[in-house]
Amino acid sequence: MMPGSIRLFVVDALHAGANFALSAAQAHYLGSVMRRSVGDALRLFNGRDGEFSARIERIRRGKATVIVEGLLRPQAPETDLWLAFTPLKRDATDLLVQKATELGVAALLPVMTERTNASRVNLERLAAIATEAAEQSERLSVPRLHPPAPLHALLADWPAERILFVALERSDSPAIRPASGPAGILIGPEGGFSPLDRTLIQNGHQCTQVSLGPRILRAETAAIVALALLQAPGYG
Ligand code: SAH
């Protein structure tokens, strides 16, 4: 059993003996929700220094400080997979961000296409969901969350050496296959890609169109399936 089932993401540097305050939300979670007290163990990670065991040093009225003990897992390279998705209805977007984080994505890139319905994205809310999913799934990092960008800008800024798989329904594109090396997947909105979007994608040098099978999947399902298949048969 790992020391302390509670696992929290922090921004502070982690090393044996480090000593710092948790956020007010984390202190509330530890004290009021989980009923933890002084001396109780927990685990911490920050995306840079690996995972450490720690103990609660003080906890009182929405404030908590911790003392970091030993290294449990050194920082290690993680899946190098990015997900570009168009904001959906709130619940669907939340689900997509949570599941994509569990499936190991390194970066989440909201993209605005012609048929994207949501006019804005609550980045703070999505960051909180991604952080919670990273804590729960024992990742050593939280995915990077980019500000929304229009499709043409996403494609223009996409790194040349990173293959971008584009999930296209109702096409005779080849089935999606496991990726080796840096890759990303682009999932369209509920209304599908418009003719203009498709032209941009066809002209995108890094783009490879792929199919996810004969059925029409909801965008959030398509994202989950694509992320699983890109990592099949083994998860690195
Ligand atoms: N309204 C569209 C479906 C959009 S599905 C229609 O009826 O045709 C939302 C997104 O999920 C699509 O843009 C695509 O990126 C992805 N998707 C869904 N099913 C897919 C499939 N079978 N193959 C590839 N991509 C798929």
- CATH topology match: 7-73 vs 81-230: no
pLDDT exceeds 80 at position 2: no
Helix, strand or coil, per DSSP, at residue 164 = strand
Q: Ligand 1 centre from 169 Cα, in Å?
A: 4
Q: Which of 59-63, 198-202, 231-235 has the lowest mean pLDDT?
A: 231-235
Domain 7-73 matching CATH 2.40.240.20: the answer reads: yes
Q: 117 pLDDT band (50/70/90 cuts)?
A: confident
pTM: 0.95
25's CB contacts (< 8 A; 6+ apart) are none
| Domain 81-230: CATH class, spelled out | alpha beta
**CB-ligand 1 contact for 155 (6 Å cutoff):** no
* 74: preceding bond cis by omega (within 30 degrees): no
Give the chain's mean pLDDT: 95
Q: What does the pLDDT read at residue 1?
A: 46
Q: 119 pLDDT band (50/70/90 cuts)?
A: confident
Q: Ligand 1 centre from 97 Cα, in Å?
A: 18
Give the DSSP H/E element, type plus range, for residue 200: helix 195-203
Q: Ligand 1 centre from 14 Cα, in Å?
A: 43
Q: What does the pLDDT read at residue 132?
A: 97
**CB-ligand 1 contact for 193 (6 Å cutoff):** yes
The domains of the chain are located at 7-73, 81-230
